[in-house]
Amino acid sequence: MTRLLVPAPRRPRPEPVVPMINVVFLLLIFFLMTAEIAPPQPFPVAPPVASGDMSEPAPALFVSADGQIAFGAERGSDALAAATRAGPVTLRADAALPATELAGILARLGALGAGSVALVTAGGG
């Protein structure tokens, strides 16, 4: 009598977890690197170059090279009034903004009651 050997049934191998963990960590790193930490600026501003203390209090009043004014969601004269109400004004003006327009904005801020205005500049030599 011949006996045929039947192989024992094999248990299925467990799914490998290491590749899934690698993918999760790669996604985590991707989202951390692409996350937006600070709110976006309303328009691009290139500050003038100066040396000194580089600390910048927030929020800031933005002035573009063509004279557009923004403070948070406010634009124009409303932005000037909102920045003055917020406390000490931090001004981020574009370096290409003519000095006469900057002087006019400073005068308007003074007329609205701004006690102090800090102009943000880029670090220079």
Strands (E) in the chain, as ranges, are 49-50, 60-63, 69-71, 74-75, 89-93, 117-119, 122-123
As to burial, measured by CB atoms within 10 angstroms (0-12 exposed, 13-18 middle, 19+ buried), residue 70 is buried
Domain assignment present for 2: no
- Tell me which residue range forms the domain holding 69: 49-123
Give pLDDT, residue 119: 85
| 3-class secondary structure, 77 | helix
Domain assignment present for 116: yes
Q: pLDDT tens per residue, the chain (125 residues)?
A: 566 777 778 888 888 888 889 999 999 999 888 887 777 788 888 878 877 666 644 578 899 888 889 988 888 888 888 888 887 888 888 888 988 998 898 888 888 888 888 888 877 54
Domain assignment present for 65: yes
Question: What's the predicted TM-score (pTM) here?
Answer: 0.56
Give pLDDT, residue 74: 86
Q: Number of structural domains, the chain?
A: 1
Evaluate whether 120 touches 60 at the Cβ level (below 8 Å).
yes
